[in-house]
DNA sequence: GCGCGTTACTGACACGTGTTAATCACAGGA
DNA sequence: TCCTGTGATTAACACGTGTCAGTAACGCGC
C-alpha cells in the first residue's frame, strides 16, 4: 500500500501556513487578501503532494453536492426511449460540465416503487433532479417540489407548475401533416405513438387536428388509430386503416418505431410507399435513415432537450432561475422518401 | 421554506436514546444488542420525522461512497458506441442496484484531457471506475492501478494486468466466417470495423484468419480492407473489393454500421444481396433488423457486459475479487437474410 | 457481600473540509 | 507616544455521521 491520501493539513504544513489559508487559496475565495508569495507556496505544495480535496468532506461542509441526477423511468416504452438516451445524456452532461457539476444516472426499474428517487433528494445525494417520464399521480413529487427541492421534468405534467422541458409535440405534428397536405393529400390517417393516457400522444393528435382544420379539412375520428410504442401495434393499426372502404392516401405515424410496423403492413398487401400510400413518422430514430424506403420524419432534438434540462435545473439550484421555466423545443421536418416529395437520390441526412 | 432537515440527533431526542443507538438501529449493526422496544421506538421516531441520513456525512465518516462511475471516452467512434450505451448502462446499473451502489456517468469530451477522470478517484468521489475505451499510453491509469484504486476496463489493455471485461471478438469473427464457410463460400472478404490501431479490430481480423485456416483456406491479405466506424468507409472498402479481378462471393463486415455502407456500394453496382454477394455484419445494432435485406450479424451482449463490469468492480471494491479478473463474454450469431441462409420470411428477432 | 460476566446503552473522538470572527504586525497621522 | 486603520493570516467552530472504548444495571455463584 502506498502512503495515505494527503489532506489540506499536509499541504498547510508543507507550505508553512494554516489550513484556512490553503482553503482560501485553492478555492480562490474573493475579498480575501493573500500575498502573492504565500499563494504560490500553497499552490506548489499542493502540486508537490498531488493533493485532491476530499469531495465528501467538502460537500458536508459546504452543504452542496454539485451533482444532479437523471431519474429514468423504465416503463413500457423502454426500447422507444432508449433511442433518446445517448443524446439526452450528452446534452445533460455538457450542461453539467459547463457549470462544474456531475451527473448521477438513476434508472427506476419496473419492480421498484415509483418514488424510489426521493432518497436521492432527501438524503442530499444530489442538489437537484431531472425526472424523465413523470407520473401525475406521484404524491412524493409534489411534496418535494413544495419543499423547494430543485426539480425539472422531462415531459409536461399538467396541473403542477413544476419547471419542465419538452419538445413541442403539437407543432411537430403540424409540420408532419402540413407537409402531407402540401403534397396534395386530402385524406390523411393518423396512428399515434401511444395510448391516449400519454400526454405526448394527446399533443400529437391535437397537432394533427389543428393542421387539418387550418386547411379546411374536417377532423374525422374514423381515420385515427392508437399505436403502442412498438412495431406490432403499427402493423395492426395500419391494417385497420387499410381495411376501410375508403382508405387514406397518406398516414402520419407519430412514432418511427410504430411506422416501421405500418410499412410492413402496407408492403404485405402489395402496396408501395410512397406511390400508393405516403408515410411520415416522428422521432427520427437512427433506423429511420436505413429502412426502405428511408422515412420522412420529425426530428426530436435529444441533445438540445438534455442541455435545456441540465441548464434549467442548475440555474434553479444556484438560485438564478430564468423567467420562463417551461421550455419548449422545436422539432425539425426531415424529408426523405417515404412521403413522396423527393425521388430516390444519393442524399444523406 | 419548510423546517430544517431532521438529523440523527433529532431522531435520538424523539426516541429518548443516544445518537449512537440510532445509528446502530438504522444500520442494523451486527453483534450489538438492542432491546426490541428500543429498536421499535427508534424506527418509529425515524419514520415520524421522515428521516433520511445525510449521504455526504455518512461517506465522510465511513470512508466509502457506495458509488461507482462509468468513464465514457467520446472518441472518433462516438456514434458507433452510442448504440451500446443504453444496454451497457442498464447492465451496470442493475449490478449497482443489486449491491446497493449508485452510478455516476462521466463522459470525457474530445476537448478534455484524457485523464480528466483521475479527479473522481483521487478526490474519493467514487469507490471505483469502469473505463470504456482506455488508452494504453495513459500513465495516470497505471498509476491509479498501482496505488490500489479499483478499476475495471471495458475493452482489453494488453500489458497491464488490470481487471477487464470484453466480448470475445475473435470467437465472434469465427462464428461469422464459419457461417459463411458452412454456406459453401470459399472466397470471403473482410472489412474490419476500425483501423488496426484498435485492438477489437485486430481481434476480429485474427478470428477471420483462424476460421479460414481451420477450413484449409489460405489467408489472403488482398481480401482484407480496413473500415473506420462509419458507412462511408464501408462503401469505399466494398468498392475496392468489388474492383478486384476476382471479387469475393461473401464479405464479413466486422461492424453493422460499416456494413450498411457496404450494402449501398453493392446495390449501386446492380448486384444483389445475398444472391450475388453474401454479407455478415457484427454488433447487431438496432438498425440491423430493419435494413434491406435484414442483416445477419454477430450480437454483442451489451447488458451482459455492463453487468459483468459492474459486478466485477464492486466485488473488487468490497475486497472480494473473483479469481478470474479478465472476463470474456460470448457473442451470438443472428441469422437473418443478408447471408443467404434463409429465404424471406416473417420471422422477427 | 463480593467479584464477575452479560446485556443495553452512551460519551467522545474521528472523518476533512468551509467559513466567521478574531489576532497580529505594521505603517501613518496627531 | 499613542491611536487607528489595513493587509495578511489563523484559531475555532460547524457540517452529520460511524464507531471504539467504556459504563451502569443486573443476575448469579460462592
In SS3 terms, B89-134 reads as HHHHHHHHHHHCCEEEEEEECCCCCCCCCHHHHHCCCCCEEEEECC
Query: What is the pLDDT at residue A333?
Result: 97
**Contact (CB<8Å) B60/A60:** yes
Q: Provide, in whole angstroms, the distance separating residue A125's CA from nucleotide D18's C1'.
A: 18
Q: In B, which residues are within 8 Å of A123 by CB distance?
A: 52-55
Rounded Cα–Cα distance for residues A108 and A314 (Å): 22
**Contact (CB<8Å) A56/B65:** yes
Which 3 state secondary structure label does DSSP give A259? helix
The number of residues making up chain A comes to 349
Place of cell 405513438: A193
Contacts of A2 (CB under 8 A, 6+ apart): B146, B147, B148
Q: Provide, in whole angstroms, the distance separating residue B151's CA from nucleotide D27's C1'.
A: 54
Q: Is the pLDDT of residue A282 over 80?
A: yes
Rounded Cα–Cα distance for residues B288 and B246 (Å): 28
Strands A250-253 and A224-225, sheet pairing: unpaired
Query: What is the pLDDT at residue B235?
Result: 94
From B224's Cα to the closest Cα of chain A, the distance in A is 25
The pLDDT > 70 percentage for chain A reads 97
Footprint of strand C on the protein (CB under 7 A): A 5, 7-9, 19-20, 23-24, 26-27, 29, 51, 53-54, 57-58, 60-62; B 16-21, 24, 32-35, 37-38, 60-61, 63
| CB contact A89 to B (< 8 Å) | yes
Of B2, B53, B260, the CB nearest to A290: B260
B55 touches strand D (CB under 7 A): no
Q: Provide, in whole angstroms, the distance separating residue B103's CA from nucleotide D27's C1'.
A: 52
Q: Provide, in whole angstroms, the distance separating residue A76's CA from nucleotide C6's C1'.
A: 56
Query: In degrees rounded to 5, what are phi and psi of residue A225?
Result: -130, 155
**Contact (CB<8Å) A125/B82:** no
Tell which B residues from 96 to 135 touch A, by Cβ distance under 8 Å.
Answer: 97, 102-107, 109, 119, 122-125
| CB contact B50 to A (< 8 Å) | yes
Query: What is the pLDDT at residue A71?
Result: 96
Rounded Cα–Cα distance for residues A306 and B14 (Å): 43
Rounded average pLDDT over A173-193: 96
Mean pLDDT, chain A, rounded, equals: 91
Q: In B, which residues are within 8 Å of A149 by CB distance?
A: none
Query: What is the pLDDT at residue A346?
Result: 44
Q: In B, which residues are within 8 Å of A86 by CB distance?
A: 82-83, 85-86
- pLDDT tens-digit series, residues A197-206: 888 899 999 9
**Contact (CB<8Å) A287/B290:** yes
From B219's Cα to the closest Cα of chain A, the distance in A is 33
Query: What is the pLDDT at residue B158?
Result: 76
Rounded Cα–Cα distance for residues B85 and B132 (Å): 10
Q: In this complex, how many residue pairs, one in chain A and one in chain B, have their CB atoms less than 8 Å apart?
A: 115
Q: Provide, in whole angstroms, the distance separating residue B285's CA from nucleotide D16's C1'.
A: 48
Which 3 state secondary structure label does DSSP give B67? strand
* Orientation of helix B231-242 relative to helix B256-268, angle to 10°: 50
Rounded average pLDDT over A113-119: 91
Contacts of B258 (CB under 8 A, 6+ apart): B191, B193, B227, B228, B229, B230, B231, B233, B234, B237, B281
Rounded Cα–Cα distance for residues A243 and A235 (Å): 12
A19 touches strand D (CB under 7 A): yes
pTM of the model: 0.90
Strands B297-299 and B151-154, sheet pairing: unpaired
Residue A334: which pLDDT band, with cuts at 50, 70 and 90? very high
Nucleotide at minimal C1' distance from the A51 CA: C16
User: Got the DSSP string for A297-341?
Assistant: EEE--HHHHHHHHHHHHHHHHTT---S--EEEE--EEE--STTSS
Q: Return the minimum-mean-pLDDT range out of A158-162, A215-219, B62-66, B326-330.
A: A158-162
Query: What is the pLDDT at residue B193?
Result: 94
Rounded average pLDDT over A53-76: 94
Rounded Cα–Cα distance for residues B151 and B69 (Å): 10
Residue A2: which pLDDT band, with cuts at 50, 70 and 90? very low
Query: What is the pLDDT at residue A349?
Result: 47
The residues of A between 290 and 309 with beta carbon within 7 Å of nucleic strand D are: none
Tell which B residues from 3 to 32 touch A, by Cβ distance under 8 Å.
Answer: 5
**Contact (CB<8Å) B147/A2:** yes
**Contact (CB<8Å) A86/B90:** no
User: Got the DSSP string for B215-273?
Assistant: TTPPP-GGGEE---SSHHHHHHHHHHHHTSSS--SEEEES-HHHHHHHHHHHHHTT--T
Q: Provide, in whole angstroms, the distance separating residue A285's CA from nucleotide C26's C1'.
A: 71
| CB contact B345 to A (< 8 Å) | no
Query: What is the pLDDT at residue A283?
Result: 94
- pLDDT tens-digit series, residues A12-56: 999 889 999 999 999 988 887 788 888 899 999 999 999 999 999
Q: Answer whether the bond into residue A74 is a cis peptide, omega within 30°.
A: no
A56 touches strand D (CB under 7 A): no
Per-residue tens of pLDDT for chain B, all 349 residues: 446 789 999 999 998 999 999 999 999 888 888 888 889 999 999 999 999 999 999 999 999 999 999 999 987 777 778 888 999 999 999 999 999 999 999 999 999 998 899 999 999 999 999 999 777 678 889 899 999 999 999 987 777 789 999 999 999 999 999 999 999 999 999 999 999 988 889 999 999 999 999 999 999 999 999 999 888 999 999 999 999 999 999 999 999 999 999 999 999 999 998 999 999 999 998 888 888 889 999 999 999 999 999 999 999 999 999 999 999 999 999 999 999 877 544 444 4
Query: In degrees rounded to 5, what are phi and psi of residue A151?
Result: -135, 145
Rounded average pLDDT over A177-198: 94
Amino acid at each position: 500500500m502506498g502512503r495515505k491520501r494527503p489532506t489540506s493539513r499536509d499541504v498547510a504544513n508543507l507550505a508553512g501556513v494554516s489550513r484556512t489559508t490553503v482553503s482560501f487559496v485553492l478555492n480562490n475565495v474573493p475579498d480575501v487578501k493573500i500575498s502573492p508569495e504565500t499563494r504560490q507556496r500553497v499552490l506548489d505544495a499542493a502540486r508537490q503532494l498531488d493533493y485532491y480535496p476530499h469531495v465528501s468532506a467538502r460537500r458536508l461542509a459546504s452543504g452542496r453536492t454539485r451533482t444532479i441526477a437523471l431519474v429514468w423511468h423504465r416503463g413500457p416504452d423502454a426500447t422507444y426511449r432508449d433511442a433518446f438516451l445517448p443524446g439526452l445524456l450528452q446534452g445533460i452532461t455538457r450542461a453539467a460540465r459547463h457549470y462544474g457539476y456531475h451527473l448521477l444516472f438513476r434508472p427506476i426499474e419496473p419492480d421498484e416503487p415509483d418514488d424510489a428517487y426521493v432518497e436521492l433528494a432527501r438524503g442530499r445525494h444530489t442538489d437537484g433532479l431531472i425526472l424523465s417520464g413523470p407520473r401525475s399521480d406521484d404524491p412524493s413529487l409534489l411534496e418535494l417540489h413544495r419543499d423547494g427541492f430543485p426539480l425539472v421534468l422531462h415531459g409536461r405534467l399538467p396541473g403542477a407548475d413544476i419547471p419542465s422541458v419538452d419538445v413541442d409535440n403539437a407543432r411537430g405534428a403540424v409540420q408532419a401533416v402540413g407537409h402531407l397536405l402540401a403534397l396534395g393529400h386530402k385524406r390523411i390517417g393518423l396512428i399515434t405513438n401511444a395510448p391516449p393516457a400519454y400526454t405526448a400522444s394527446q399533443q400529437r393528435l391535437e397537432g394533427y387536428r389543428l393542421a387539418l382544420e387550418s386547411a379546411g379539412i374536417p377532423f374525422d375520428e374514423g381515420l385515427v388509430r392508437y399505436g403502442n410504442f412498438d412495431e406490432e401495434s403499427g402493423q395492426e393499426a395500419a391494417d385497420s386503416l387499410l381495411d376501410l372502404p375508403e382508405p387514406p392516401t397518406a398516414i402520419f405515424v407519430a412514432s418511427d418505431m410504430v411506422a416501421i410496423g405500418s410499412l410492413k403492413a402496407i408492403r404485405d398487401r402489395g402496396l408501395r410507399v410512397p406511390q400508393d400510400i405516403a408515410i411520415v413518422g416522428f422521432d427520427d430514430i437512427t433506423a429511420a435513415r436505413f429502412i426502405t424506403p428511408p422515412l420522412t420524419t420529425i426530428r426530436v432534438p435529444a441533445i438540445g432537450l438534455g442541455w435545456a434540462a441540465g441548464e434549467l435545473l442548475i440555474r434553479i439550484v444556484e438560485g438564478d432561475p430564468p423567467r420562463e421555466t417551461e421550455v419548449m423545443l422545436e422539432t425539425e421536418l426531415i424529408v426523405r422518401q417515404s412521403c413522396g416529395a423527393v425521388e430516390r437520390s444519393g442524399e444523406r441526412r
